[in-house]
Amino acid sequence: MSDDTTISEATITTTSEHPTFATTDPSAEEAITTTTTTASETLSADSLSKYQSSIQSLSSIIPSIPSSSLSSSSSNPALSLLHHRQTASQISSLLRQPDSGAGDNNLCRWLYDTFQSGDPSLQLVVLRFIPIISGVYLSRVPLRKPLAGFEAVLLALYAHETTSRAGQPITVNVPDLSHPSLYHESIAPTKNNATALNLAVISPSLEPHGTVRSTRRARIVGVALELYYSRIYQMPSGSKIEFCEFCRVWAGQDGDNKKEEGRIPLPWELLQPMLRILGHCLMGSSCRRKEDSREVLEAAIGACKCLHTRSMHDINAKAILATGSLLRLGKMVLEANDDHALNDPTEISMSNVISI
């Protein structure tokens, strides 16, 4: 694998909003309304054209793609493709092939071009496969195989996030009792208002990169996982389960402290987005009583156990605290789900006592 494979960075072009003008002329209002409607129809037609072009390219890679995926009769055919299990299974199988990830791989080219189309729905289709792309890519790095195709897709996502963040880090304001809030008044004298806020940096600012080097690899893959996390509520269960499976592979150790193949370095810039995704898999699965949600929950708990064992082995205090917290959270969710299943609040209790 060449770490110096040059990939042109992706740029997403944004369109400015159309201003609204006040007018008392009915004919002018009608003209403005017609223009707005035409622009909306043009945008819809443009998205449909991008979808048709993308699905035609995919059909040349997957000849057995179902005809239902080719249909553009639905309101959003790209989202139909996102949740089409048979098509996703075929793409996942191709991404796991021994020769996948090379620079001339047609599927990697399709993923790259589809994301670069700029259509949000089509970009979701690409994000659905980020777990398997990241998983196969990181697992094959030690093998020195050509992986320029995977790197092109990851760099496209990284460039998209670099442009979107505009050089700003992702921060969160940590609550501090020394500052007054809606629920309490501060006793201690406040400092210089905004500058005294307790800001925690979740993700540092990004620097543009056009190549994947060994020193940048964890950060680039981590940013791709951060982008996946920002859209995870729209991802199908199969994608989340694949991610949990690769977390267990990356940990390289099972829950019984036995080493397994696939172990990779887990710096915090890669581990943090992994844990955030697992946290969603734990909490998000508790909101729905479905079989696939239960499967996601169990897969996430298994991944947390492996990562916790790995953290204990590496004596990584920050990782031990985070993975231990996720394990306790998973246990609470399981107990809550079991209690809910045993005591269904919608069931009418039977009793021989008549209350008057």
Q: Is residue 177 part of a domain?
A: no
Please name the residue ranges forming H helices in the chain.
26-61, 67-70, 77-82, 85-95, 106-116, 120-127, 130-140, 148-165, 217-230, 237-251, 268-284, 291-314, 317-342
Tell whether 243 is covered by a domain: no
102 and 216 share one domain = yes
Are 1 and 75 members of one domain? Answer: yes
Tell me what percent of the residues of the chain surpass a pLDDT of 90. Answer: 42
Residue 260 and residue 213 in one domain? no
Residue 235 placed within a domain? no
Considering the domain boundaries, does residue 25 fall inside one?
Answer: no
- Helix (H/G/I), strand (E/B), else coil: 237: helix
Residue 294 domain boundaries: 256-265+280-342
334 assigned to some structural domain: yes
Question: Does any domain span residue 152?
Answer: yes
Residue 338 lies in a domain: yes
Same domain as 74, residue 1: yes
- What is the model's pLDDT at position 161? 93
Describe the crossing of helices 148-165 and 217-230 by its angle, rounded to 10 degrees.
60
Q: Which residue has the tokens 């945008």?
A: 43
Q: Is the pLDDT of residue 32 over 70?
A: no
Give a yes or no: residue 355 inside a domain.
no
Which pLDDT score, from 0 to 100, does residue 26 have? 45
Same domain as 331, residue 226: no
Q: How confident is the model at residue 47 (pLDDT cuts 50, 70, 90)?
A: confident
Residue 230 falls in which region: left (phi positive, over 0), alpha (psi -120 to 50) or beta: alpha
Q: Which of 1-10, 110-119, 272-281, 288-297 has the lowest mean pLDDT?
A: 1-10
**pLDDT-derived band at 68, boundaries 50, 70, 90:** low
Looking at the predicted structure, is the pLDDT value of residue 37 above 70? no
Contact indicator for 134, 179 with CB cutoff of 8 Å = no
Model confidence pLDDT, tens digit, residues 152-171: 999 999 999 999 988 888 88
